[in-house]
Every structure is written in structure tokens, then in C-alpha cells.
Chain A
Amino acid sequence: MVVTTIIFFIIAGILFFLNIKHGRHMEGIQAGLRQLIIALPVILLALLLSGFLEVLIPEEFIKRWLAQEAGFTGVILGTFGGMIMAFGPYASYPIIATIYGSGAGLGTTISMLSGWTLLGLSRIPFECGFLGVKFSLLRMTLHLVFCIMAGTVAHLFDLWFL
């Protein structure tokens, strides 16, 4: 975690210097802090919710439906679970991390993350409204296949290499 934090600070520093050229470096800091202030209550609430999820989710449920032993069922459940998780990243990521930490398999976790990323229902009203229902249906259908594929590959990776 410390290494990742340092890497982020280095990247932020590089981007800061790149923005100096355009005279927008301070604007970048302000934009980041503004978003942090807006997102922080949601992040803290999500972390609190995740803490309770962690102590409440029955081990048996994880083993049966989401762990490596659940196999392809976990991948399917993960994909649709991620899809219906209609929160932004600040809330969804801690929840997915908790489910993984509680013992969910790699296949389930990756398909849940992919399902949230590629199929997230919270974006659908915007997409249908601006680009059309047919566009949205076609994209969702193709993305669904890729989510299941990504989860399956991760599951096999988990099974064979981890």
C-alpha cells in the first residue's frame, strides 16, 4: 500500500509538471481536491458498510457461491452482481474488495469488477437517452460475453497457478 501511494505521488508530480507548461497545474490540484471533498463522505460510508459486510457475510455462503470452489457459478454471479451494483466507484470498489477479502474466488472478483465496469446499470439511462436503446443493447450484449470470458480466464488462472 505504501509503494502504491508513493507511485501515485510520483505520477501526480509528473502530471503537475506537464500541466505547468499550460499554466493549469494549480487548477489540477484544485480539481482533485474538490472531487475528493465531494467523494469523501461516500468513500467513508462505503468503507463502513464494507467493514460490516466483512463481519456479517457467512463463510458458508462465500464458500458455496463465490469462492474458487463455486467455479463458473461464481463467475456468473459475479458478473450480474457487479452489473446491478448501481453505485459509483467510491462505493463499489470497497464493497468488491471486501467480498474478495472474505474469500471470494479470483474468477468471481474479476467478473464482478468487470461486470461493474462494463455493464454497470447506473450508466444505462444516460446511454439509452443520448445514444439510443439499440446502441446500448448491442454494447451490453457484447460486453456481457467479455465479462464472463474475463472471469473464466481469472478462475482458470486461480485454479492452475495460485
Chain B
Amino acid sequence: MRNTAIILAVVTLILLAIAYITGGFELVTEGFLTAGMTASQALLMIFAAFLVIGQLQTLVTSDMIKGWMQKYAGGRGIAISSIAGGLFPGGPYIFYPFLAGFKGKGISFYLLFSFVSGKQTYDFTRLPLEISLITPWIAILRNILTFPVPFIMGLISWRFFPQGVAGASWEEGE
């Protein structure tokens, strides 16, 4: 997060300099005003979005997700894995080690595949931010258009890569 802030600050400073060179103080002021206007409109919504995110992350635990993953298989398993992926709390530094923990524990490759795809496509804790920082209708349209992706990914891997990628067995630890 700190690195992101530094990169953003540097890029913003560069843009500020370009604005000053090309349009003078007037364009710089316009940039600040545009940013201020957006911030004043969005901040309360962002606050509410984080309240949702916190409650959701507390409600759905990793153990709950683990239980679902081990219980279902086949088409139903793909559907459950996709949704479970979307519900899984935490960023990549929690998500991927959690998944790696399934290696060699009898979870089919296609379930893992739809789980990863579900996390990236849905990520329900990211949805409030998507709605508040972009616009509700664009966020909803994107979610509708990509909704089937994790299911299709699961079905493709179930049909074409039942043993994992390049013949490596997921169950035995790829």
C-alpha cells in the first residue's frame, strides 16, 4: 500500500507539472477542483462501502470456505467454488497461501481453478468499491458480463484438464 501511495504521488506530481507547463496555474487549479469535487461526492459512499467490507469479512471466515470446498464436487462443486472464491476474505497474500494449503489434500484441480477465477471475477468485498469509485451501472454491467466466467473456467478445466495442467497431478502436489 505504501509503495502504491509513493507511485501515485510521483505520477500525480508529474501530471501537476505537465498541467502547469501546458495550461499554467489555471489548469492546475482546474485539476484540483475536479479532484475535490469527486472526493466530496464520493467520500461518504466510500466510508459506507468500507463498513460493508468489514462486516462481510468478519461474517465469512476462511474455515467456512474450506468446509464448502471439501464438501462438493462436479457441477455443483464448480458453482460453490466460484461463489466461495468471491466470498473469500483477504488479499492475494492471504488467498494464495490458503489455496496452496489444499495441495495434496484431495481437492480437484477444476475446483481450484473455478475458485481462483471466482475470487478474481466476483470478490464481493471489492464490489462496494467498484460501485462507489466507478459508477453503479458500469460496475453492475461488468459483473453481469463476466458472471459466467468462473463457471465456464471450471467446466473447461473439468473437461480438458482433469488432472491439472500439463499432466501434473494436483492431488499429489503439482
Contacts and interface: CB of A to CB of B under 8 A. Distances in A.
Contact of A131 (B30, B99, B149): B99
B99 A94 contact: no
Contacts of B33: 51
Interface majority SS (helix, strand, loop, mixed), chain A = helix
B49 interface: yes
B145 A19 contact: no
Interface of B: 1, 4-5, 7-9, 11-12, 15-16, 18-19, 22-23, 27, 30-36, 38-39, 41-42, 44-59, 92-93, 95-97, 99-100, 112-113, 116-117, 120-121, 123, 126, 128-136, 138-139, 141-142, 145-146, 149, 152-153, 156-157, 161, 164-166, 168, 174
B38 A47 contact: yes
A97 B95 CA distance: 27
Interface in A68-108: 87-91, 93-94, 96-97, 100, 106
Contacts of B30: 55
Given A93-B133, A97-B135, A129-B96, A52 B165 contact: no
Contacts, number: 246
Interface string A38-68: 1101111111111111111000000000000
Contact of A15 (B22, B59, B165): B59
Question: Of A8, A22, A30, which is in contact with the most chain B CB atoms at under 10 Å from its CB?
Answer: A8
Interface string A13-47: 00110110010110111111111101101111111
A47 B128 CA distance: 17
B142 A127 contact: no
A142 interface: yes
B58 A12 contact: no
A28 B9 contact: no
Contacts of A135: 113, 164-165, 174
B54 A48 contact: no
Nearest to B156: A142
Contacts of A55: 19, 23, 27, 30-31, 34
B121 A36 contact: no
Nearest to A129: B96
B58 A27 contact: yes
A139 B1 contact: no
Contacts of A89: 126, 129-130, 133
B4 A42 contact: yes
B132 A4 contact: yes
A155 B16 CA distance: 33
Q: Give the 7 A-B residue pairs with the shortest CB-CB distance, closest first.
A: A32-B54, A51-B35, A15-B55, A93-B133, A8-B48, A28-B58, A52-B15
Contact of B149 (A39, A96, A143): A143
Contacts of B44: 5
